[in-house]
Every structure is written in C-alpha cells, then in structure tokens.
Amino acid sequence: MVKSIYVGNLPFSVTEDEVRDLFSAHGAVHTVKLINDRETGRPRGFGFVGMEDAAAESAIHAINGMELGGRTLRVNEARERPSIRHRRF
C-alpha cells in the first residue's frame, strides 16, 4: 500500500526531481507533489511523497531532520486535512 509522506521546510528552489532523488535512496517513489501558492504560483516550501509502507518508514526516519539547501527538513506521515465545514472563521 502506498503511504503519503509530508515533507516540510523545503527550500523554495527545490524541484520534484531533487525530492524524488532524495527519497529514492530508501525505495521506489510513486509520486512527488510540491505545493505552490494558488494566487502567486510560488512554492510554499512543502510537499508530499508517495512510497510503499516499509520504504516510507525508512525514508521518514532517515530524512527527518536532514539539511537540504540550508533548511532542516521536517518529514512525517501525512495526515488528512480537517474538513473545511468544521472550521470556524
């Protein structure tokens, strides 16, 4: 089963290929999605990587806290976003 991994504090200049290369050292990477701001199109400094369960666990433990482009990466299992209906503004 493919597990979704959250990757935060990414350098704004990082590419999907660079993220794929970083994670592929720990197993097959199924997907890489870097998130951009909807209005400006600029990178938001985080993204998601899809990997098989065992490879994902290995990658999370190995890459969390690693430095990339002068920034310390935050890597963990992605969690579902809370439903917008339940948020109060």
The tens digit of pLDDT for each residue in 23-81 reads 999 999 999 999 999 999 999 999 999 999 999 999 999 999 999 999 999 999 998 87
Structure tokens at 13: 């200049």
The pTM of this model reads 0.88
* Main-chain phi, psi angles of 32, to 5 degrees: -135, 130
Phi, psi of 41, rounded to the nearest 5 degrees: 80, 0
Query: Listing from the earlier edge strand, what are the strands of the sheet with 74-77?
Result: 29-36, 43-52, 2-8, 74-77
Domain boundaries, the chain: 2-80
CATH assignment of 2-80, given 3.40.50.2000, 3.20.20.240, 3.90.1170.50, 3.30.70.330?
Answer: 3.30.70.330
Taking the C-alpha atoms of residue 19 and residue 11, their distance in angstroms, rounded to an integer, is 11
Question: Is the pLDDT score of 18 beyond 70?
Answer: yes
What's the pLDDT band for 84 if we cut at 50, 70, 90?
A: low
